[in-house]
């Protein structure tokens, strides 16, 4: 068993925040990438004997649709109907019809039932549209929703899918009940999911988006002081809508922290309060939870040993977790690196030992005991180990994104986006100065990566191994 980090192994050091490099000139995913994705899907369809795959999307569950087409449904629902040949058919509602001009490589059709309540209903019905896409009796159809079942709870069900029932029912009536199968796992399985490995353009794009989020987080965290309100801090995050939110903005003080997803309020920060600040958009999420203090003198007597009891063990978790990551590692091995902390009741960790991220904030959390999943090159991951408050001690949360990339992908990134590559190397150097031992596959995405702030009113003071 690895020796646990002790208080005398750690010191607090000052790491001034770097100036973020902000651009709205983000890399565009080229048309050929969408064509390659379609070809990969069709190859899997042929291998498994499917004539069609139908991808459902709505405002929240948009990422599979966007992956295939570049289109995300905003007010309404959508379907992408993919056959073995020809252009896929993208069905949208009336509001989405105009925005569908953004879609790549598809035929767009208005399907009235996806329109908002009260809109005209003059278009073709779903059965007619499906038949026009050559779906007929005996066609084998794969359905793609958002989640695939991992529980085994519904073993007696004929089909387990989160695609709306009326769509499933129409398909089963048309092609036969045994010919409709949920294949959501094809898209989001940790190891084999089509959507998991990022392209070099996506990695660069997400790194640049992380710069935007980092800029907002540094502004917000720098303004933390007794008397400031949650909404005042939230306003400093600088969310401008250019990249949509992937999760609700979180700024919480005091008792509001325990509500987790609560909207910012006019609550004022008090010395010694627990607090959380987080901003997540497509491809980037940074979050911090800690205590409103400038140093140990601000700790109340009952938590005067919080550095030893909470923050040093948490830092130890992150050192182990980051150190276990590389392309091809079993996700159970990543879990095992922090198992003793994950399973210790005092730390009360309920959620995960990290998860995959893409356009949506959370795809899945494969870092579990016994998992045979492995990390593919190009996988983007959130370090998201959350230690809730264990009375009387504060909770702590240091959440950042990274990509694991093999030598080939790293070389392509360095060649095509040298400035992105250089920033990643500087972050690796910074993290290694704090005591992290990173595999060469690990590419950090933001400039406060892995920094554990024990004093949130002095957020550039972070934990480090003693030199």
Which residues, 6 or more positions from 438, have their beta carbon under 8 angstroms from its beta carbon? 322, 323, 325, 428, 431, 432
Residue 412 pLDDT:
98
Distance, in Å, from the CA atom of 175 to the CA atom of 289, rounded to the nearest integer, reads: 51
Residue 155 pLDDT:
85
| Nearest one of 58, 64, 141 to 93, comparing CA atoms | 58
8-44 residue pLDDT tens: 999 999 999 999 999 989 999 999 999 999 999 999 9
185-201 residue pLDDT tens: 999 999 999 999 999 99
Distance, in Å, from the CA atom of 168 to the CA atom of 112, rounded to the nearest integer, reads: 18
Mean pLDDT of the chain: 96
Distance, in Å, from the CA atom of 298 to the CA atom of 393, rounded to the nearest integer, reads: 13
| Cβ neighbour number for residue 223 with a 10 Å cutoff | 13
Spans in the chain with pLDDT lower than 50: none
Distance, in Å, from the CA atom of 39 to the CA atom of 47, rounded to the nearest integer, reads: 12
Strands 274-281 and 107-110 come out as unpaired
Structure tokens at 56: 């459902």
- What's the angle, vertex CA 201, arms to CA 199 and CA 204, rounded to 5? 110
> Look-up: residue for tokens 């994950």?
342
User: Hey, what domains does the chain have and what are their CATH numbers?
Assistant: 7-26+199-465 (3.90.230.10), 31-188 (3.40.350.10)
Residue 1 pLDDT:
66
Under 8 Å between Cβ of 401 and 380:
yes
213-237 residue pLDDT tens: 999 999 999 999 999 999 999 999 9
């Amino acid at each position: 068993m690895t020796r646990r980090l002790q208080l005398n192994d750690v010191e607090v050091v000052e790491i001034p925040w770097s100036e973020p490099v902000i651009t709205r000139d983000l890399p565009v995913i080229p048309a050929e990438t969408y064509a390659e994705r379609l070809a990969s899907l069709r190859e899997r369809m042929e291998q498994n004997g499917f004539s069609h795959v139908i991808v459902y999307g709505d405002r929240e569950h948009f990422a599979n649709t966007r992956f295939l087409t570049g289109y995300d449904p905003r007010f309404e629902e959508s379907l992408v109907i993919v056959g073995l040949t020809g252009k896929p058919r993208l069905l949208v509602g009336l509001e989405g019809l105009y925005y569908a001009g953004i879609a790549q490589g598809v035929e767009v059709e208005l399907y009235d039932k996806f329109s908002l309540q009260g809109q005209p209903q003059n278009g073709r019905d779903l059965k007619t549209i499906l038949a026009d896409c050559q779906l007929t009796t005996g066609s084998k159809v794969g359905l793609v929703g958002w989640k695939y079942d991992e529980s085994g709870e519904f073993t007696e069900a004929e089909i387990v899918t989160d695609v709306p029932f009326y769509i499933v029912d129409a398909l089963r009536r048309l092609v036969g009940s045994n010919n409709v199968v949920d294949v959501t796992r094809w898209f989001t399985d940790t190891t084999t999911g089509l959507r998991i490995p990022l392209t070099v353009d996506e990695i660069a794009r997400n790194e640049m988006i992380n710069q935007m989020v980092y800029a907002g987080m540094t502004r917000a965290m720098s303004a933390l002081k007794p008397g400031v309100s949650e909404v005042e801090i939230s306003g400093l995050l600088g969310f401008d809508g250019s990249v949509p939110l992937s999760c609700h903005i979180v700024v919480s003080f005091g008792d509001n922290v325990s509500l987790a997803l609560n909207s910012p309020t006019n609550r004022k920060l008090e010395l010694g309060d627990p607090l959380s600040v987080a901003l997540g958009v497509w491809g980037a999420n940074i979050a911090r939870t800690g205590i409103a203090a400038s140093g140990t003198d601000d700790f109340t007597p009952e938590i005067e040993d919080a550095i030893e009891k909470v923050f040093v063990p948490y830092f130890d978790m992150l050192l182990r977790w980051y150190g276990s990551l590389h392309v091809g590692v079993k996700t159970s091995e990543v879990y095992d690196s922090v198992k003793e902390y994950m399973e210790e009741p005092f730390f009360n960790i309920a959620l995960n030992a990290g998860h995959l991220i893409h356009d949506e904030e959370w795809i899945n959390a494969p870092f579990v005991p016994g998992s045979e999943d492995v990390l593919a090159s190009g996988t983007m991951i959130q370090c998201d180990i959350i230690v809730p408050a264990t009375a009387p001690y504060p909770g702590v949360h240091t959440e950042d994104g990274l990509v694991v990339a093999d030598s080939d992908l790293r070389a392509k990134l360095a060649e095509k986006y040298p400035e992105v590559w250089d920033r990643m190397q500087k972050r690796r150097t910074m993290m290694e100065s704090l005591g992290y031992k990173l595999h060469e596959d690990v590419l950090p995405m933001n400039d406060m990566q892995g920094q554990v702030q024990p004093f949130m009113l002095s957020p550039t003071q972070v934990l480090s191994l003693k030199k």
